[in-house]
Amino acid sequence: MLDAELAEMVDNLRVIGADIADVEVKKAHGGLPKSLRETLSAFANTRGGVIILGLDEAHGFSATGLPDPARLAANLGSMCSEDMEPPLRPLIKIHTYKGVQILVAEVPEVDPAQKPCFSRGMGITKGSYIRVSDGDRRLSAYEVQVMLSSRGQPREDEQAVRGANLDQLDATSVDALIARLRTTRPYAFKDLDRLAVLRRAKVLVTGNDNEDVASLGGLLALGSYPQEHFPQLMVTFVHYPTESGSRSGERFLDNVTLEGSIPVMVRDTLAAIRRNMSRRAVIAGAGRQDVWEYPETALREAVVNALVHRDLSSGARGTQVQVEMYPDRLTIRNPGGLFGPVTVDSLGEEGISSARNATLIKLLEDVPLPGETRTVCENRGSGIRAMLDALLAAGMSPPQFNDKISSFLVTFPNHTLLSQETIKWISSLGEKGLTDMRDLVARELITQTGTRRWARYQLSARPTTAKGQSSRADRRPELLAALGTESLSRAELVERTGLGDQTVRRWLKIMREEGTMEIIGNSPKSKHVRYRRTRQEPLFRPEDPGPTR
């Protein structure tokens, strides 16, 4: 962390008047606080964070300093490596701030395959924490179990369902699946008989008595009524009349339960949402066009994701997928948070996807929605991208994602973010694949002032060519000049070039793909990764406007 970044962080804390989710401040005059192990666990299990020792929160985050920062740094390093499981390797540095020495430790998030990180002295059940707002909360036994199950590939969707035989599967759906598998995947299924196809696809598995029974995934994908065995593996839809969710005399405008196989629940859930949506008028060309409150493509992807990625372990089978509509938002919640390497920040990025219920999703890749030719899901990791594109096309802000380990929540705000004039202007630039506000900032279409929760945005003044077209700024020469023969972090490149962090992040990605820039050591997602020029010649000319991404 640079001194300037530390100063900005402390200034932000003073504005708020308290710690925030990714920053913990301790005075630490008497040595390392006892609660520090909880904070280390919480940061490691969440999204990482920064611990600052030597500031007094009670007195406006004044710099009180530390009597022996070197000893404290050594003790903190020992605590991280000896008292925590898995051992943590934070970046620990002594800074001079306001004339005194303080200690700053940047704690990384641990890999999902190693979670939960816990205090060895307290044990995995009592010593595992997560960061919530500005505090550390102990994980529940279920949340610990979810993290442990995420270390490998969950197999709950392949479990045999006792008493569920072939007769409890919908015959029409089964026939359609078999025909499709024999056509689209002939190498694996063409020469197999009916039962052999279902066994290889893991629709049928071997039960306790060596008989063929439906797997949980097979029952959910093709079952006539899966809720006979699992009553809560369903969807509830509630339409509330007020933003708070209740009003005296009228609790619900609509309240329904959606059951059946996943294809049926997707169809019926979308019908329930559509029945409760209103339309808004948009002037397009010479006439008026009525559009739905929420784009149906975005809703379909969110509902499908909630049903196919939900946690199917025994501890979550008592919780249903919940869809709630309010005047100002629509929320879709499923049990079980994000799985594998996927994070809230990486949702929608190319090449980053993970399936908690791999067998179920593979089946639904070949099971059509009722009355349609398209299947329930593509299994290509493209659902979030389609959701974002649909919302942007409708002039709406992206959904808000909230990952809580035990649940995942998608919220669609019921408002447009951009005016029709702004959407028209952005479309005229020819920019492809725009996703969210950060992307607009990265491409310098919108100027950001302030950071994080204090950020404000305004349209950028874009230079134009002689033909009146938007002129794209090529930031590669500036970044290469700033690097010279050195290796620098992204933060150092931001400081040297004066460009925004999102803009630098975007161009570094482009240059890595072109081969004009490379990273040293760490993953590109690490806070501490450094960049350097490659030895080969640049793959662009100074007048080249660069790729549209």
Each residue of 292-330: pLDDT tens digit? 788 899 999 999 999 999 999 998 999 999 999 998 899
CA distance 80 to 90: 8
One-letter-per-residue 3-state SS of 126-190:
HCEEEEECCEEEECCHHHHHHHHHCCCCCCHHHCECCCCCHHHECHHHHHHHHHHHHHHCHHHHC
CA distance 191 to 321: 38
Tell me the sheet residues that pair with 236. Answer: 257, 322
Tell me the pLDDT tens digit for each residue of 471-525: 567 888 889 989 888 888 888 898 888 888 878 888 888 888 888 888 876 555 5
- Report the pLDDT value the prediction gives residue 462, as an integer from 0 to 100: 54
Where does 185-295 have alpha helices with state H? 186-189, 194-200, 216-222, 262-276
CA distance 396 to 417: 5
The CA-atom distances, in angstroms, between 455 and each of 145, 191, 262 are 37, 61, 41
Lay out the sheet containing 407-413: strands in order across.
254-258, 235-239, 321-326, 329-335, 407-413, 400-403
Q: How many CB atoms are closer than 10 A to CB 14?
A: 14
* 187: Cβ contacts below 8 Å, ≥ 6 apart: none
- Report the pLDDT value the prediction gives residue 287, as an integer from 0 to 100: 46
- Report the pLDDT value the prediction gives residue 436, as an integer from 0 to 100: 53
Plot region of 472 (φ>0 → left; ψ -120 to 50 → alpha; else → beta) = beta
- Report the pLDDT value the prediction gives residue 472, as an integer from 0 to 100: 60
- Report the pLDDT value the prediction gives residue 548, as an integer from 0 to 100: 46
Answering whether pTM is above 0.75, one says no
Tell me the sheet residues that pair with 330. Answer: 325, 412
- Report the pLDDT value the prediction gives residue 76, as an integer from 0 to 100: 95
Residues of the chain with pLDDT under 70: 246-250, 279-291, 348-353, 379-381, 415-442, 444-472, 521-528, 535-549
Residue owning tokens 């859930």? 269
Q: Which helix (H) or strand (E) holds 55?
A: strand 55-56
What's the number of CA atoms in the CB half-sphere (13 Å) around residue 186?
1
CA distance 67 to 73: 12
Rounded to the nearest 5 degrees, what angle is found at the Cα of 109, between the Cα atoms of 105 and 110?
120
- Report the pLDDT value the prediction gives residue 286, as an integer from 0 to 100: 45
* Assigned token pair, 437: 């506000």
Identity of the amino acid at 491: A
